[in-house]
Amino acid sequence: NRLELATQAGDLIGLSLQDHAFWYTAEFSIIGSQRGAVGSYSGWSAQDIFDTWALSNVSLVIIDQMVLDKLIKSQLKWPDTVKKIILMSDAAVDLSPYAVLLSKIKLESIVIDYFSSPQVDLRTGRNQFREEMFSNQFDENNTALVIFTSGTSGGKPKGIAYSHKRW
């Protein structure tokens, strides 16, 4: 699992994806690997997305190409805490246009093909997921999910954290 190689249990991971299927895949992978997901709506401004990551002290972010392009185009400074980006897409991505960013932050592209993915019974899958998650020893008080407002009503985004126990 790439999340386990790049982070430790209890770490918070930023998440901003336009595609809902990618979002849920990433969010469940994060929570299932005993990390916390910090979601930022892909339609938010680059500043709001960066603010949620900075306020949460994330070191790894999972985004798609639309979000990455928006963040680069904004020319804002990336939060110092972000050390790695996982770029999710349904096709191979040419990383050469991101050379300047690559000099500062590690960027890895992951291609997900939903059409070749096995079918999953959501009821059985959810129960199995919970059994696997809770069969491993971990601190159930660690953050599982952070939900933010956009901050558009004046100021920085505000968030609330849910523990693995409450999630």
Assign 159 a pLDDT band (cuts: 50, 70, 90): confident
CB-CB contact of 105 with 85 (8 Å): yes
CB-CB contact of 58 with 12 (8 Å): yes
What are the angstrom distances between the C-alpha of 94 and each of 62, 63, 127? 17, 15, 38
Rounded CA gap, 21 and 141, in Å? 27
Residue 156 has φ and ψ, to the nearest 5°, of -75, 155
Is it the case that residue 115 has pLDDT exceeding 60? no
Residue 87 has φ and ψ, to the nearest 5°, of -100, 110
**More confident of the two residues 49 and 25:** 49
**More confident of the two residues 166 and 29:** 29
pLDDT 10s digits, 38-62: 988 888 999 999 999 999 999 999 9
